[in-house]
């Protein structure tokens, strides 16, 4: 059963607090834009598509008490709120896509009185939520065609229901393959430093009764060498115009290993994850996070307090290492530039 990662209940946003999983399935209410900013920053809600929808509802929370009498005044509130929410995490482009979409919706309704513009924004956020559900299921059906019976699949981080509204991108494909009785086996990288693989992905796969094995990040090469991985499926936080992919730190390691061992690496991502303003991955902003995340494991110190730390949250996998990108508009194969451009203008 899909998990409802984010909901709108009685004028408040309700999310699963992902920092508490897998030990506690706790839902928290987000009543204002500041709490939404913190929820995104602290990874209570995370994963590119989920952050997008959170951003859309954050815009509602941040502007609903506006006393603006005209669209022009209201737009100032919208711009301020979008700037604030956009400062939470820089890499997942779905956040910026969602903030812009809400701003565009307001502009399209700018001839209406402000209360009616506000109502249109809520409708738009709901529409985005529904689209995410549909798009993930469509990508799952397409991606499933790439999975054969009994295959052993490796995934990294969490690209499941928890990273979207309720179903997932890369894990959506695995859910679909499982539903179709393909008897797959999934290996999950723990995904240091914040362990999204160990905490979230294993939880989601076990819930669906999928055969899952957790490994430390440094074990993937050995498994590949032994011929125990057939395919890799991962999500994405931003894909540049040439097909370079930003995803959770460690994805690039896997991609290099996969090429060496002749294992295809597939990226599953909706069109909202593409950023045509960037021609290559080198311009994708990479979030640098607090060193304490590396010096600790689940809050327990594992390194000296004063050791220097490098903690980028994402890396860039060059398009040349990606076997295909599965989107709701089809499976893209290299060379990517043309096909991405065509899909975006359609």
Among 237, 244, 315, 328, binds ligand MRU (CB under 6 A): 237
Among 235, 243, 250, 281, binds ligand MRU (CB under 6 A): 235
199 binds ligand MRU (CB under 6 A): no
2 binds ligand MRU (CB under 6 A): no
Q: Are 135 and 53 in contact (CB under 8 A)?
A: no
Gap between the Cα atoms of 15 and 300, Å rounded: 26
163 binds ligand MRU (CB under 6 A): yes
Among 46, 176, 231, 295, binds ligand MRU (CB under 6 A): 46
**Residues of the chain by 3-state class (helix, strand, coil), percent to 5:** 45, 20, 35
* Helix, strand, or coil (residue 67): coil
User: Rule CB under 6 A: which of 4-33 touch ligand MRU?
Assistant: none
Residue closer to ligand MRU, measured from CB, 43 or 184: 43
Is residue 237 part of the annotated active site? The answer reads: yes
Among 5, 35, 49, 90, binds ligand MRU (CB under 6 A): 49
Residue carrying structure tokens 């090469």: 221
Q: How far is the CB of 235 from ligand MRU (least distance, A)?
A: 3
Print burial letters for 276-288: b (CB count within 10 Å at least 16), e (below 16).
eebeebeebebbe
User: Rule CB under 6 A: which of 114-143 touch ligand MRU?
Assistant: none
Tokens of 244: 């370079």
101 binds ligand MRU (CB under 6 A): no
- Of the residues 237, 244, 275, 315, which is catalytic? 237
- If 0-12 CB within 10 Å is exposed, 13-18 middle and 19+ buried, where does residue 161 land? buried
Neighbours of 333 (CB within 10 A): 12
- What is the arrangement of strands in the sheet containing 274-275, beginning at the earlier edge strand? 274-275, 238-240, 245-248, 314-317
159 binds ligand MRU (CB under 6 A): yes
Q: How far is the CB of 196 from ligand MRU (least distance, A)?
A: 5
231 binds ligand MRU (CB under 6 A): no
Gap between the Cα atoms of 135 and 128, Å rounded: 10
Q: Are 150 and 182 in contact (CB under 8 A)?
A: yes
Among 247, 272, 317, 327, binds ligand MRU (CB under 6 A): 247
Q: How far is the CB of 18 from ligand MRU (least distance, A)?
A: 8
Task: Report the interface residues with ligand MRU, using CB under 6 A.
Answer: 43, 46-49, 92, 157, 159, 163-164, 169, 196, 235-237, 247-248, 313
Q: Hey, which residues are catalytic here?
A: 237
């Amino acid at each position: 059963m899909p998990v409802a990662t984010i909901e709108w209940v009685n004028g408040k946003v309700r999310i699963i607090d992902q920092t508490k999983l897998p030990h506690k399935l706790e839902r928290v209410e987000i009543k204002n834009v500041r709490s939404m900013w913190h929820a995104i920053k602290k990874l209570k809600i995370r994963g590119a598509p989920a952050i997008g929808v959170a951003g859309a509802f954050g815009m509602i929370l941040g502007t609903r008490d506006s006393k603006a009498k005209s669209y022009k005044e209201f737009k100032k509130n919208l711009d301020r709120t979008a700037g604030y929410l956009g400062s939470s995490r820089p890499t997942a482009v779905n956040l910026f896509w969602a903030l812009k979409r809400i701003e565009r919706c307001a502009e399209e309704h700018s001839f209406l009185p402000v209360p009616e513009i506000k109502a249109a924004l809520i409708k738009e956020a709901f529409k985005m939520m529904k689209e995410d559900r549909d798009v993930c299921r469509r990508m799952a059906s397409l991606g499933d065609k790439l999975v054969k019976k009994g295959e052993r699949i490796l995934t990294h981080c969490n690209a499941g229901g928890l990273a979207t509204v309720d179903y997932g991108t890369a894990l959506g494909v695995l859910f679909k393959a499982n539903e179709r009785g393909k008897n797959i086996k999934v290996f999950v990288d723990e995904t240091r430093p914040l362990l999204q693989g160990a905490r979230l992905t294993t939880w989601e796969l076990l819930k669906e009764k999928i055969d899952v094995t957790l490994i430390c990040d440094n074990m993937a090469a050995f498994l590949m060498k032994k011929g125990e991985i057939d395919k890799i499926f991962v999500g994405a936080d931003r894909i540049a115009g040439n097909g370079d992919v930003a995803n959770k730190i460690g994805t690039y390691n896997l991609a290099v290993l996969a090429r060496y061992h002749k294992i295809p690496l597939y990226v599953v991502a909706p069109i909202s994850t593409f950023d045509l303003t960037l021609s290559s991955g080198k311009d994708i902003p990479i979030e640098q996070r607090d060193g304490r995340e590396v010096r600790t494991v689940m809050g327990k110190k594992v390194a000296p307090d004063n050791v220097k730390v490098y903690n980028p949250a994402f890396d860039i996998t060059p398009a040349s290492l990606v076997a295909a990108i599965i989107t709701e508009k089809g499976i893209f194969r290299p060379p990517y530039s043309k096909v991405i451009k065509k899909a975006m203008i359609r």
